[in-house]
Amino acid sequence: MISVGTILVAFLGCFHFWKNIFEFVKNSYKGTLIQLSPIEGVMVAVKISFSAAIVISMPIIFWQLWLFIAPGLYKNEKKVILPFVFFGSGMFLMGAAFSYYVVFPFIIEYLATFGSDVFAANISASSYVSFFTRLILGFGVAFELPVLAYFLAKVGLITDASLKAYFKYAIVVIFIIAAIITPPDVVSQIFMALPLVGLYGLSILIAKMVNPAPKDNEEDSKNNTKENTKSES
């Protein structure tokens, strides 16, 4: 309830400044956005305000998520609360910033000008904002992978060897996830999947530092991986 209340308060504050937020959102696109229905302006304001409210509320959301998980953990495992909240919020913002400054400008420019010699692009404000928020929030969630790896390694559920053993399966899952949480175009999916592969590699390093696998277990994981590869071939 606290998370919902925080998002609601943040939403009301963001709604008051929705025009300023919209200018920030539209900054990457130099074209003109159109309004297709009388209610579209209101819907755009609501979408922008709600998405901004989620971003602002992330520290509280992570805090509440931790309070939900903490009762089932041991005392020593509960010590990761501050890193969980701090790095969880930080990685979400980093993913959103990466999308805003690197990925989104390229994608919107490419998609908006694709086939420009055949037809003119008249993008509605609502579709633009939906595309933007889905990409920004998607990258924010995707960048939580190292945080999740740290937490799972800290409580002993994963090791670097286990992550290495399932690397090729993880690649398939990553592309499936990218197809789900990004807009339905191949360019967005690739731009989502490639950083996720890198983040998976970072997660392996994090797991190795936090909960390294014993040498014998690591050898077993390698052998199992080889056996699985042979059986599949």
Domain span at residue 104 reads: 1-215
pLDDT number for residue 214? 72
- CA 185 to each of CA 77, 131, 139: distance values in angstroms, whole numbers, following the listed order: 41, 11, 15
| pLDDT band, residue 231 (cuts 50/70/90) | low
Contacts of 84 (CB under 8 A, 6+ apart): 62, 66, 147, 150, 151
For residue 108, the model assigns a pLDDT of 85
Instruction: For residue 26, tell me if it sits in a domain.
Output: yes
Q: Crossing angle for the helix pair 58-69 and 81-98, nearest 10 degrees?
A: 140
Burial of 201 (0-12, 13-18, 19+ CB in 10 A): middle
Q: Is 230 among the domain residues?
A: no
Res 176: pLDDT: 87
pLDDT for 163 beyond 60? yes
Tell me the β-bridge partners of 124. Answer: 34
Q: What is the pLDDT of residue 20?
A: 93
Q: Is residue 74 part of a domain?
A: yes
End-to-end CA distance of the chain: 51
Query: How does DSSP classify residue 14?
Result: H
Statement: residue 46 has pLDDT above 60: yes
Do 85 and 63 meet the contact criterion of CB atoms below 8 Å apart? yes
Per the domain annotation, does 118 fall within a domain? yes
Question: Quick check: 199 and 142 in contact, CB under 8 A?
Answer: yes
For residues 161-177, average pLDDT: 88
Residue 151 lies in a domain: yes
Contact 16, 47 (CB under 8 A): no
Residue 147 has pLDDT above 60, yes or no: yes
Q: Indicate the number of domains in the chain.
A: 1
| Whole-number average pLDDT of the chain | 82
Predicted confidence (pLDDT) at residue 224 exceeds the cutoff of 70 = no
Name the packing angle between helices 2-16 and 58-69 (round to 10°).
Answer: 170
pLDDT at 154: 79
Please state the three-class secondary structure of 63-131 as a single string. HHHHHHHHHHCCCCHHHHHHHHHHHHHHHHHHHHHHHHHHHHHHHHHHHHHCCCCCCCCCCEHHHHHHH
Residue 226 falls within a domain, yes or no?
no
Look at residue 177 in the predicted model and tell me its pLDDT.
82
- The C-alpha angle with vertex 67 and arms to 65 and 70, in degrees rounded to 5, equals 105
* Lowest-pLDDT choice from 48-57, 110-119, 182-191, 221-230: 221-230
Q: What is the pLDDT of residues 87-120, one digit of tens each?
A: 888 889 999 999 899 888 888 887 777 766 677 7
Count Cβ atoms below 10 Å from residue 108 Cβ, excluding itself.
19
- Percent of the chain residues topping a pLDDT of 90: 21
Q: Which whole-number Å values give the CA distances from 22 to 6, 19, 27, 47, 188, in the listed order?
A: 21, 5, 8, 10, 22
pLDDT of residue 73: 67
For residue 82, the model assigns a pLDDT of 73
78 pLDDT more than 90: no
For residue 225, pLDDT over 60 is answered with no
pLDDT of residue 10: 93
What is the average pLDDT across 123-148?
88
**Is 224 inside a domain boundary?**
no
Give pLDDT, residue 14: 93
Per-residue CA distances from 106 to 29, 109, 110, 117, 136 (Å): 10, 5, 6, 19, 14
Q: Is residue 232 part of a domain?
A: no
